[in-house]
Amino acid sequence: MKTIMYLLLIVVMMTCSGNGKVKTNAQTPAQSAEPCTVSVKDFGATGNGATLDTKAVQEAIEHVAAKGGGLVTVPKGTYLCGSIWLRSNVEFHLDEGAVIKGSPDIKDYCAADCCPQNEAEIGWGDYISGGHLILGVGVSNVTLSGKGRIDGNSDAFLLDSNGAPYSNKSLIPARPSQMVWFVDSSEITIKDIELADSPYWSCFLLNCNKVIISGCYVHTRRKDYHTFNGDGIDIDRCQDVTVSNCRIDTSDDSITLRASGAHLLEKPQDCAQVRVENCVLSSSCNAIRIGVGEGHIHDAALSGISISDTNVAFNIVGAYSKGERGPDIDNILLRDIKVEAQELLRIHHMRSKSCSIRDITLDCVSGTAPNISHIWAKAAAPFQNIVLKKVDVPAEYERVNANVVIEGGLFKEKELSQEELDARRSYIEEEKKLLY
């Protein structure tokens, strides 16, 4: 009887299969679906460097996103584009020889009010439109990859009609904002790609989580002309971020850790758990700058870094702008770093009245930086536990209102006369920039 029932069961299963075969390990559509892969050329992108390809590139991204995610490839060629919006679960991959080049027309970029978190500074400040070349707003599981290049086309915005660079950023008629911009996003990967010639900051991460940036080459103009505010990678109110094996050569800060104003962010958070490893940095300004804003920057480790051709290696600052409180900054480790700069270190409140800066450690730092460094605090908020451990840089630093611990090394405190010390204290309280 059991044998007969077993045989009947097999017959039923074969009948239900519709093809005379017994179905085993059946998969649902969601389980069997393959990730979608398309080329931007499938949607009409030309890659000829003259035709505006924004629409075709965006359609490719939207198509893959609508399919649940996958890969959008950009073959070899130059694709002239305005703003491109990245979507969740999509990898945007530039093949070797592929270039996404920013349109020279500011009208081809997103408006300043494209989302609540965005902003422009036209007629004041940095003179930026609020437009971005590549942006992701509230996205997750996004990858920007490949051996290609994202080119901000800075010549189109920073040179006048005669091909001469503007002498002051206030003279620039209009320029886009950060070239690559992610905000309120998570699980972001940027790898192996070149970020070139942004007319402003190159890559801005704002209020993001779980970010990996690796193997990238980031550079802005600094030799033939100066890119005003030409930063490399700016990490603002982000958590769980790793930047590794990158080469960054910029006219302004190479890497920054920030805790800016709220920007109408969904859930503003601290800037914390940031790791920068095995990078090569050079800058006409600061290789590493930590500070600015009104939040909290803490628990960051920067190690295995080589700094050269740079003005200031490390700049830890409260506030550049009047009216800002400045962020609290603590538990920052700078370790195993080789330096060739004009000045090794600045730790200062500048225009902040009361932000707390404490528990900053330089460990195993070596190289050259001949100019005097500064550890200058306001009397109302002295710096606490600044540790200089095996800093083998034969130079001096000035200390005002700061607790500094020296553990070996060649970096020494400069002795100030009472008159010099009083002059420094007076200058610091006036909320001005450093004397040097």
- CB 100, CB 119: distance < 8 Å: no
**Predicted pLDDT at 124:** 67
Total domains present in the chain: 1
String of DSSP letters for 391-435: EE---EEEEESEEEEEEEES-EEPP--HHHHHHHHHHHHTTPPP-
In the predicted model, what is the mean pLDDT of residues 239-247? Answer: 98
**Proportion of the chain above pLDDT 90, given as a percent:** 85
14 is a domain residue: no
Q: What is the CATH number of the domain that holds 80?
A: 2.160.20.10
380 is a domain residue: yes
pLDDT above 50 for 12 = no
For residue 250, the cross-strand partners are 283
For the stretch 160-175, pLDDT in tens is 999 999 999 999 999 9
246 is a domain residue: yes
For the stretch 42-54, pLDDT in tens is 999 999 999 999 9
Question: Average per-residue pLDDT in the chain?
Answer: 91
Q: What is the pTM of this model?
A: 0.91
pLDDT above 60 for 19 = no
For the stretch 336-385, pLDDT in tens is 999 999 999 999 999 998 899 999 999 999 999 999 999 999 999 999 99
What is the helix, strand, coil percentage profile of the chain, to 5? 15, 45, 40
For the stretch 299-333, pLDDT in tens is 999 999 999 999 999 999 999 887 788 999 999 99
- CB 290, CB 313: distance < 8 Å: no
Candidates 337, 309, 137, 313; CA nearest to 219 is 309
**Proportion of the chain above pLDDT 70, given as a percent:** 91
314 is a domain residue: yes
What phi and psi, each to the nearest 5 degrees, are found at residue 328? -80, 135
For the stretch 391-422, pLDDT in tens is 999 999 999 999 999 999 999 999 999 999 99
Dmax of the chain from CA atoms?
109
202 secondary structure, DSSP code: S
**Predicted pLDDT at 435:** 53
pLDDT above 80 for 104 = yes
164 secondary structure, DSSP code: P
Give the separation between CA 253 and CA 233, rounded to whole angstroms.
8
**Predicted pLDDT at 434:** 66
Candidates 297, 310, 368, 300; CA nearest to 335 is 300
**Predicted pLDDT at 261:** 78
CB proximity list for 251: less than 8 A, separation 6 or greater: 220, 221, 222, 226, 227, 228, 230, 283, 284, 285
If DSSP codes are grouped into helix, strand and coil, which group holds residue 295? Answer: coil
The angle at the Cα of 255, spanning 228 to 85, to the nearest 5 degrees, equals 75
Q: Note down the domain range covering 136.
A: 39-429
Label residue 122 by pLDDT band (50, 70, 90).
confident
Candidates 361, 253, 268; CA nearest to 310 is 253
73 is a domain residue: yes
Question: Which tokens in the block code for residue 218?
Answer: 């980031």
124 is a domain residue: yes
- CB 383, CB 349: distance < 8 Å: no
**Predicted pLDDT at 125:** 81
What phi and psi, each to the nearest 5 degrees, are found at residue 353? -95, -30
34 is a domain residue: no
**Predicted pLDDT at 55:** 98
pLDDT above 50 for 8 = no
The most confident of the ranges 126-130, 211-215, 428-432 is: 211-215
8 is a domain residue: no
In the predicted model, what is the mean pLDDT of residues 63-80? Answer: 98
Q: How far does CA 16 lie from the centroid of its chain?
A: 56
Count the Cβ atoms, other than its own, within 10 Å of residue 192. 17
